[in-house]
Structure 1
Amino acid sequence: MDENPKNPTSGSPGKLELMATQKVGVNRELYKIVDFLNKNLKDYRLMFGLTKKDDKMIISIYEVE
């Protein structure tokens, strides 16, 4: 993970703080949900991530500082 990613709300450098993760079964539609959440909640300084590992997917929630 990049230690100094761009802040999506202001364009200035920011820091991501991991708030929570959840493992779930593989579902191809989860990418659409994560994209929807990122587009609609960026003004609340939240960012969502999705990774696939073996037969599980991990949803992550970050606070953008």
Structure 2
Amino acid sequence: MESKIEILSTVTIQNSPDLYKVVDSLNRTLKEKDLMFGLALDKDDDSKAVFTIYRT
């Protein structure tokens, strides 16, 4: 059985120390809806974060 992950949306936003809490809450709440959320620092600017929404 193959698991396919589809990127639904990606946006670059201002980084915040508590941003990971929002992503964690979204992942815990919406995993039954086959949604997953990711957060990473922007490669070029540490003051920005890249927020991604996936369908699993």
TM-score by length of 2: 0.86
5+ long unaligned stretches in structure 2: none
Counterpart of 2:17, as a letter, is R
Identity percentage of aligned residues: 40
Deviates more, 1:12-21 or 1:37-46: 12-21
Distance across 1 between alignment mates of 2:2 and 2:16: 32
**Which residue of 2 is the match for residue 3 of structure 1?**
none
**Which residue of 1 is the match for residue 22 of structure 2?**
33
1:62 and 2:54 are equivalent in the alignment = yes
Deviations 1:22-45 (A, max 9, x none): 111110111000000000100000
Larger RCO, structure (CA 8 Å, separation 6 or more) = 2
5+ long unaligned stretches in structure 1: 1-11
TM-score by length of 1: 0.75
Runs of 4+ deviating beyond 3 Å: none
RMSD between superposed Cα atoms in Å: 1.3
Q: Is the partner of 2:3 in helix, strand or coil?
A: coil
